[in-house]
Amino acid sequence: MIKLENIIEFIKDQIIRIEGPYQGMEIEGIADLKNIDSKYLDWIHPNSQQPQVRAETSNSKVIIANQDVFYNDSMKYDGKILIQVKDPYLTIAKIGNEFFAKKEKPIIHPTAIIDKDAKIGKDVNIGAYSIIGSCIIGDNSIIQENVIIRDCVTIGKNVFIKSGAMIGNPGFGFVKEGNGTLVKFPQIGNVIINDNVEIGSNTSIDRGALSDTIIGSGTKIFNLCHIAHNVIIGEQTIITAHADISGSVKIGNNVWIGPNSTLIGHQIIGDNSIIGAGSVVLRDVPSNEVWVGNPARFLRENKV
């Protein structure tokens, strides 16, 4: 149980107004609508259809909402507390992370195999059965279990790499000889993963061929993605599950790559663009545009 006053203190910069008798309240957690009861925090999504009705009928005593919800007699009569904030979705995320998400103390599991020349920062977690080459890993990064990170990899701070991810394997480039034999093109570049990146389960990020594969800071890559050699991804970009990013693709900042989409080699995706789910991108996509389909075509501008 967490004192509501402590939660209010934590989010005070975001609060517009508090109504109702919040002193002395204790909160058990956050939950979905179905499981919420009076001891849980409830919150109204900004896109909710009937925010006022949602707030009045909530099983919870404490409602976090934006200014679309007002504290009326019904809420007052029920002894509810209304915490008005600018962005309830963001506020509940911050509350959940701070008070209700389990935080594990970082450990280096004894079964992890770590190269003696690896440079591991402070408070780094390395999970069971992970294999760490003579790479660099920044402070506060979490490497889960069964992850492989090879010699050629540099990882920043606060990076989160989920189980089964494979970072720094040699890429896939072949030159055909006259007799049809496929000769491997050397794959001797690096992987650079900047601060605050997240990498999903069973995702592979291959090393560069002659240059480097680079993931910009704050970018989030989801499960089962493939990031090929020489790919360069900007900052605060979202790569959703099963995305297939072929060799030498460049993706800008603040881009959203939809689930199971395919980017063929050497394409450039501009800043603030959106690639729809299942799209197959065969051409460069300018900044601030939404492209969808197979083959992907311009759908509309993306105003930001």
List binders of its own copies among 222-261 (CB under 8 A).
Answer: 222-224, 226, 228, 235-236, 238, 240-242, 244, 246, 254, 258-261
| C-beta closer to its own copies: residue 17 or 266 | 266
Distance CA 163, CA 232 (A): 23
Active site annotation includes 229:
yes
Distance CA 189, CA 250 (A): 16
| Pairing of the two strands 297-301 and 289-292 | antiparallel
Q: Is residue 195 a contact residue for its own copies (CB under 8 A)?
A: no
Stretch touching its own copies by CB under 8 A, among 3-11, 15-23, 87-95, 114-122: 87-95
- Please, is 260 exposed, middle or buried when counting C-beta atoms within 10 Å of its C-beta (0-12, 13-18, 19+)? middle
* Distance of closest approach, residue 23 Cβ to its own copies, in angstroms: 26
* Distance of closest approach, residue 96 Cβ to its own copies, in angstroms: 3
* Distance of closest approach, residue 54 Cβ to its own copies, in angstroms: 15
| C-beta closer to its own copies: residue 74 or 107 | 107
Query: Which of residues 16, 53, 107, 277 is near its own copies by CB under 8 A?
Result: 277
Cβ distance 37 to 58 under 8 Å?
no
Cβ distance 203 to 182 under 8 Å?
no
Query: Which of residues 140, 141, 204, 273 is near its own copies by CB under 8 A?
Result: 204
Q: Of 45, 109, 226, 229, which is the active-site residue?
A: 229
- State which amino acid sits at residue 222: F
Query: Which of residues 12, 34, 103, 116 is near its own copies by CB under 8 A?
Result: 34
Distance CA 63, CA 89 (A): 12
Q: Please give the distance of CA 135 from its chain centroid, rounded to a whole number.
A: 23
Distance CA 238, CA 220 (A): 5
Distance CA 127, CA 200 (A): 15
| C-beta closer to its own copies: residue 19 or 244 | 244
* Distance of closest approach, residue 14 Cβ to its own copies, in angstroms: 10
Residues with catalytic roles: 229
